[in-house]
Amino acid sequence: DTGVSQDPRHKITKRGQNVTFRCDPISEHNRLYWYRQTLGQGPEFLTYFQNEAQLEKSRLLSDRFSAERPKGSFSTLEIQRTEQGDSAMYLCASSLAEYYEQYFGPGTRLTVT
Amino acid sequence: DQQVKQNSPSLSVQEGRISILNCDYTNSMFDYFLWYKKYPAEGPTFLISISSIKDKNEDGRFTVFLNKSAKHLSLHIVPSQPGDSAVYFCAASALPNTGKLIFGQGTTLQVKP
C-alpha cells in the first residue's frame, strides 16, 4: 500500500479563484478526514467522512468550503472565492473506523495571493 | 480555547540522551491520546498512542506516560538520535470515537550529534 496521497502538493492561486484538492486514502480505510494547518499551529479538524457520509463539519468550514467523497474512496475539498486567510497546508488522513490512529498524506500547500 | 497544549515550542538535546516532550489537556472527556512526528514538507506520521485506561505505553525507544489526574502526558525518547529531529504533536480524541483529533501546537525537537 502506498499510503495516503494528495494532489496537488502545491497550489498558488489569486484571491477570488476557486480551488479543488484531491485525497486518495489508504484503500481499506473507511474513514477520511480533512485538516488545515497554519504556521506554528497543529492541524485543525475540518471534516470527516465514514464511507460516503460526511459525519461532522467544523465551524471552521465556512460556506465557501465543500468536501465530497462520492463513492467512499477518494475525496475532494473545494474552496470557492479564495481569501488570503485560506493560505495554509491542507492535510488529509484516513483510518479504520474502529481505530483512533489516523494516517496522514503529505498535504497540499495553498498560497492565495 | 486550546484544549491540548504543548507549552514548550522547542527542545534541544544531545544525541544519546533522553528527550522528554510534554503535553497538557483540559477536556476530561478525552479518552485516547496520540503522538505524531512531522518532518518538513511531509504530513504528520503516527508514532505512539495510549488509552486513558493505561498510564504507560512503550514501543522501542518511545514511551508515552499518561497522568489523568494532572491531565498531562509526556513522550520519552531514549536514546535520542539525530534522525528524531522533527516537530512532535500530541493529539487527543474524545469519547465516543468521533474521528476528530484535537492537536497541540507542536514542539520542535533538535537532537545534536
Using CB atoms within 10 A of its CB, is residue A32 exposed (0-12), middle (13-18) or buried (19+)?
buried
What Å distances lie between residue B58 and A19, A48, B74, B79, B80, CA to CA?
Answer: 42, 30, 12, 13, 15
Give the residue numbers in A contacting B (CB under 8 Å), as ranges: 4, 6, 31, 33, 40-45, 48, 50, 55-56, 58, 91, 93, 95, 97-98, 100-107
Please judge whether A55 and B103 are an interchain contact, meaning their C-beta atoms are less than 8 angstroms apart.
no
> Which residues neighbour B60 within 8 Å (Cβ) at sequence distance 6 or greater?
none
Contacts with A, B 18-37, CB within 8 Å: 32, 34, 36
pLDDT in tens, A87-110: 999 999 999 988 889 999 999 999
pLDDT tens digits, B10-59? 999 999 999 999 999 999 989 999 999 999 889 999 999 999 999 999 99
How many Å apart are CA B97 and CA B91, to the nearest integer?
A: 13
Quick one: closest CA in B to A105, which residue? B43
Residues of A in contact with B97 (CB under 8 A): 97-98, 100
What is the distance in angstroms between the Cα of A81 and the nearest Cα belonging to chain B?
26
Rounded mean pLDDT, B102-109: 97
Mean pLDDT of chain A: 94
What integer best gives the mean pLDDT of chain B? 94
In the chain, the amino acid numbered B40 is P
C-alpha cell at A59: 465551524
Rounded distance, CA A72 to CA A70, Å?
A: 6
Give the residue on A whose Cα is nearest the Cα of B51: A100
Q: Do B46 and A106 touch (CB under 8 A)?
A: no
